[in-house]
Amino acid sequence: MKEKLYNLSPIFIQNILISLYGYKLKRERYSKYYKNKMGELRKRVEPKFDYYGYQLDQLNKFLDYAKKNSVYYSKLISSRSLPLKSVEEIKDIPVLEKEDIRKNIEEIVSIPKSGGIKSQTGGTTGKSLTVYYTNRDMQERMAYLDYFKEKHGIRKGMKRASFGGRTMVPLKQKKKVFWRYNLPLKQMLFSSFHLSEENIPYYIKALNKFKPHSLDGFPSVILQIAKYALRNNIKFTFKPIAIFPNAETLLSEDKKIIEKAFNSIVRDQYASSEGAPFITECPYGSLHLNIDTGVFESVNVRGNVGEIYVTSFTTRGTPLIRYKIGDSVEFKEGICSCGAKTPIIKRIIGRSMDYLYSEERGAVNSPNIANTVKKLPHSVKNIQFVQNEYDRIIVNVVRDDTLYKEEHTNIIIKELQKRLGEKLYFEVRFLDKIPVQNSGKTRFIINNLNK
């Protein structure tokens, strides 16, 4: 009923309703815990701060909390094992799978659901997940996120444009106003569901009028706007201080395109709706494991690439301990020039399903597949790969009709054969638009083999 009334309301009423919700979020996110954590973070002297000692101390406090407040973990964590003498001892606790959370959520949650802050994953792996934060969890996570942005020149209260999976713009709306304004947070919320070649000019016009200090959200959405601007030689009349993609894996080539179009820096980050610890990019361009926010365990390592299990200190409401989140990272040796003595990684690979499979070459990941269209950057507006069968891959192409030629299809197939072998059949389909998922994301690779 509420959604129906909202959709039937005039746009100015919808902006008021969005802003009222914004006031609620502001109270949830920015109170005493936020202020305390921000104060603590700002006082740190990076080269001298003992990240590893702090991590062990926070881990023991978190495990003690989980044992005392979660029925599930009261059975798994032995009082005799606490406090741990080293972070490695956490391996004595069983791994937590997504299905474990779904089946045992009532016992895992440490607070009454009615008093928690509900968070849901988008379900890009086929199944959604619901967890609950305490107020302290949420505020400390916001503090870590804002501190990360602050390092790149963004202060709380600056104007921001966000591109996410919210359906605050009715899907059947006829007016070309594909955004709503959240006044308390000075946030322009752009719909990812209405993005198309026809509508992108309206997005650009709105951005130029709003002139945000930062952009954040799905990189696939920001990328489409960036590509359109470059193809059509459109210049933005503002220069964002920084752009912060989230919720999807950011490819290095896509990062360069976004930076070129907006004449700004892109700083990557990693967390999750479930509440994973943070990975953030420093001003020197290195991705750091923020071990003060949790524990990252690397498993199934091949070369420098490993899947990660995470233990997050800001998930008291739904404790995540040795959680098999399904993501992988590529590690990098050395110490960063920024002075932070935390592990650094070369790239965030993302979900284990972000690959195509062939019997000849095995699993080929998304960055390699992305290079397929490097030779055709202008004639291909967007592309997506779908694998439902072991011997066939569907290639969805959104082409520029004025630039795309028949031989370009052959080039795409030949480039795929280089990477995946010649035994696969590639079915190229031409679409007006790549389908948007229920989460609002546009997946680059959809691998349904595991299903």
Q: What are phi and psi of 241, to 5 degrees?
A: -65, -40
pLDDT digit string, tens, across residues 328-384: 888 888 888 888 889 998 888 765 456 788 887 666 766 667 767 766 766 888 889
Tell me what pLDDT residue 123 has. 44
Could you tell me if 343 and 366 lie in one domain? Answer: no
Q: Tell me which of 394 and 98 has the higher pLDDT.
A: 394
Could you tell me if 290 and 360 lie in one domain? Answer: no
Could you tell me if 110 and 151 lie in one domain? Answer: yes
Could you tell me if 221 and 369 lie in one domain? Answer: no
Could you tell me if 429 and 342 lie in one domain? Answer: no
Gap between the Cα atoms of 151 and 426, Å rounded: 45
User: Whole domain around residue 419: which residue ranges?
Assistant: 355-447
Counting other chains too, the contacts that 363-366 makes at CB distance below 8 Å and 24 or more residues apart are 364/419, 364/420, 366/249, 366/251, 366/444, 366/445
Could you tell me if 172 and 280 lie in one domain? Answer: yes
Tell me what pLDDT residue 125 has. 40
Gap between the Cα atoms of 278 and 271, Å rounded: 5
pLDDT reading at 392 higher than 70: yes
Q: What are phi and psi of 281, to 5 degrees?
A: -95, 130
Could you tell me if 324 and 397 lie in one domain? Answer: no
Write the DSSP symbol of residue 334.
S
From 329, 351, 373, the end of a domain falls on 351
Tell me what pLDDT residue 365 has. 62
Tell me what pLDDT residue 318 has. 95
- CATH number where 180 lies: 3.40.50.12780
